[in-house]
Structure formats: C-alpha cells, structure tokens
Amino acid sequence: MFFRQYELGCLSLYSYMVGDETTGRAVVVDPQRDVEQYLSDASSNGLRIERVIETHFHADFVSGHLELARATGAVISYGPGAEADFPIEVLAAGQRVALGEVELEIRHTPGHTPESVSVVIWERPGDPWGVLTGDTLFIGDVGRPDLFASAGMSAEELARSLFRSLHSQLLTLPDSTRVFPAHGAGSACGRAMSSAPSSTIGEQRRTNYALRPMSEDDFVAAVTRHQPVAPAYFGFAADTNRHRHDLLPEHVEGVALTVDQVVDHLSAGGAVIDGRSPQAFASGSLRGSINVPLDGRFAEYAGDVVRPGQPIALVTDPGREAEARTRLSRIGFDTVIGHLPDIERALAENPGLAARADRIAALDLAEWATDHDVQLVDVRNPAETEAGSIAGASVVPLARLLEGLSGLDGERPTVVFCASGHRSSVAASTLRAQGFSQVADVLGGFEAWVAAGLPVTAPS
C-alpha cells in the first residue's frame, strides 16, 4: 500500500493519497485546489490517480476535484445523495473500491452533511488498516452539525444523524484502526480539535468528549452549543464545490499595478488586501486597505471581510504576491487583479494616500475610555467571551463584522479587540475601509487587558 497524508496548515486541512503499488492505481481524498503535489507524488511512485473521493461538499475550502480530473481524467465520487452539475459517480454505502490488494470501503456517515462518508482502508484480509473520517470524526472532536442547517435540515436533525453515524459506522471498527481526519486544530469545522494528525478508534473512544457514554439527547446538546461562528465565505465555498467553476490556472503571471490604478480600483468598489504584519501595516499603509496578515489564517480572515466576487488588489512583503494569490484561490477568491509593488516607495511618493493605524495599549485604553465616548467592539467568537469581556463592549465576531456594520456608529471613536491582537487589526482596518472615522485596536488584545489586572465583565 502507498499512503500519504498532506497537511495544509493555513486552512488546517488534511488530504490523502492511497494507492496499490502492485497495480499502480491510486485515489486522492479531499484534495486542496492546487494539486501539483499529488501529481508529483503519483508520478514519482509509479501511480495513476484514477479517482477523487470527496468525503462531503466542503465549506471551508474549494476542493481540487475538478483540477485533478482535468490533469488525470480521474472519476469524481461523492457519497449517497450527493448532487452536482458536473459528472460524478455516487458511491453506495458499503461499496468497496478495489485498487488491487488495497481496497477502500465506503461507510455513509451523515451528520456534518447529509452526503458525508468515511473511507475504510483495507490492506489485507483481517482488521482494517485505517479510516479516513472526513468531517465526521476529528481527533478530539466531531464535525459540527450546524453548517448545513440553512439548507433545509436543522442542526438538531443533523446532530442526531451524526450520533448514529459515529456509533453504528465508526465505533464498530476495531480499536486498533487508525483515524485520519480531514481537519486539525484551528479549523472552524469543529471547536476542540487536536493538533495531532492521527489517532486510533480506541484512543478516541477513551479521550474524545463527544464519544463518551451519553444519550443521544445529551450528545445533541453537547455538539450544538458553543460552536464558533462560521467564516463568512463558507456558504460561497460550499456552493462553488457543487458547481462547475473556472479551474485554477496552471500558470499565472503576476500583474504589477500603479498607485493610480489601485486608487481607481478602490473607487470602483474593489478591495485592497495588505498582507504585511500588523506592525508594518500600522506604520504606513494605503488609505482604504485592509490588513490581513499572510503569517496567519490569511484566506479565512480575508473571506470574512472581503465579499465573494469583489475584485482584489494585493500589497505584500516583496516576493509574496504569488503566495497570497494562491491562498485566496484555495477558498475560491479568484478575482485578484494584481499587486502594488514596493508599498513603502509608493507611499513616500504619494504621502496624501498614506494612512497610519492607531494601536492602543490596554492600560491606556482603560484610562482613555473613562473620559471619552468610546465604542468598544469585541471581535472574538462567542465561546471565547464566556470568560468575560470589557465593560460596554459589543460582541461582533469577525466573521459577522460586515453584516453587523449597521449596528455600529461610524462617527464614534471605536476601539476593537480580539484575543491577542491579530484579528483586531483585520477588523479595525475593515472598519476604516468602510468609512469609520476614528478606529484603534488593542495591542495584545483581551489577553493583555487581563494580564494588566483590569476589570472583566459579562459580554453584551
């Protein structure tokens, strides 16, 4: 058997290639959109990628099934009930896909979505070698059942399906069966995932909170509460994965834009994403740009504050323009028109277009807020605010910031904070780009506030 796990850390994504070295036949499961690594590994190991199996219609990234099908002619497969407007082969519950001596067994495991499947890997007769659990079972967690709720099924209905899938399809596997999930720590597809890339059924039975002995009703309560707010682009990505769409170009030439072109782009309703660090952005940026640092969950946060289809111009540290474009393409944001090179020089030559970002220390905020009519905005997720917030702060999670603008006053001095100061720079720059007149964010975020011994209250 050939088996390889691929990790895409910036989206907390795991994908897989499983092959039979005696026949050269291989399958890729849940591929990311840029597929060169699968093609390279198949070629160097004498394998032919014959099939792409999607464990479900993903919401957190645009998958590479169409790109792999273009490159290899692979069949695209989903689980029972899946419908798409491109050719797919629906795999039946219990169906075995033989690659030679290696076989893949399809287990229908609805709950995260109705069509979700898990893929059991059999290398030889006896116990199964492992199982690819998609978004049904994670290391330390299970798939959230609320993302599909807007499509006609309630979170409770999906949670009940998930309970049955776990107990009738996955926990019936031997304890020695290796578990390989589709996501790890940091993904918004669950709330308590481990950073471990794999586990076993037995270990998860002992340690996973959602697999402890409990009634179905208790399980539903446990997995439907305190889920993080879904990133704003999730609905767009899920819909994109169901439909034909433009394929990722095999080669893209970066387009260098002039300052005048970027200013015209902003005036026409486009977005400028500045991928530099919050510190560099604060020292000088193009007025109207949004700071989404590349060294972080760049695509996810960009998908929170830029609308799907909105044209995008990029500002990055030198040489990182292609990286930014690729990472945006992984969530289906393909509307990058180009990049502004040498931002420091551009601002020096056009000082009237330059802006500085205000960042305030926690102690200074405590003193300043007592004498000013400050609008405090907490952009953490609801579960993060359970330990408290700053008195008077409104909780507007980053993923809901654009839709929550009408509830904020753009004329009042506004201070934004998150947990540690990363998301707050994204949020504060978004508010400035939306016309808010005076916005600052808190250095070190709520953690700095608590460390300074300042008072904490229940969030509003």
429-453 pLDDT per residue, tens: 999 999 998 999 999 999 999 999 9
Distance between CA atoms of 311 and 270, rounded to whole angstroms? 5
Q: How far is CA 262 from CA 256, 273, 321, 339, 425, in A?
A: 10, 11, 15, 9, 21
Look at residues 168, 170, 182, 178 and name the one whose alpha carbon lies nearest to residue 203.
178
Q: In which element (H, E) is residue 328 found? A: helix 321-329
- CB contact set of 348 (below 8 Å; sequence gap of 6+): none
132-180 pLDDT per residue, tens: 999 999 999 999 998 875 567 899 999 999 999 999 999 999 999 999 9
Q: How far is CA 189 from CA 86, 91, 183, in A?
A: 25, 24, 8
- DSSP H helical ranges for 350-458: 362-369, 423-433, 445-451
Cα 5–8–9 angle (5° rounding)?
120
Look at residues 207, 104, 220 and name the one whose alpha carbon lies nearest to residue 163.
220
Q: How far is CA 33 from CA 11, 333, 347, in A?
A: 12, 12, 35
Using a cut of 0.75, tell me whether the model's pTM lies above it: yes
At residue 227, the 3 state secondary structure works out as coil
> In the structure encoding, which two tokens stand for residue 151, read together?
């499509």
Instruction: Give the catalytic positions in this structure.
Output: 418
Q: Taken in order 365, 369, 375, 381, is the CA torsion positive or negative?
A: positive
Q: 10 Å Cβ neighbour count for 413?
A: 18
Each of the 460 residues of the chain gets a pLDDT tens digit; together they read 999 999 999 999 999 999 999 999 999 999 999 999 999 999 999 999 999 999 999 999 999 999 999 999 999 999 999 999 999 999 999 999 999 999 999 999 999 999 999 999 999 888 999 999 999 999 999 999 988 755 678 999 999 999 999 999 999 999 999 999 999 988 888 777 899 999 999 999 999 999 999 999 999 999 998 788 899 999 999 999 999 999 998 777 889 999 999 999 999 999 999 999 999 999 999 999 999 999 989 999 999 999 999 999 999 999 999 999 999 999 999 999 999 999 999 999 999 999 999 999 999 999 887 777 899 999 999 889 988 999 999 999 999 999 999 999 999 999 999 999 899 999 999 999 999 989 999 999 999 999 999 999 887 6
Structural domains in the chain?
2-242 (3.60.15.10), 259-355 (3.40.250.10), 358-451 (3.40.250.10)
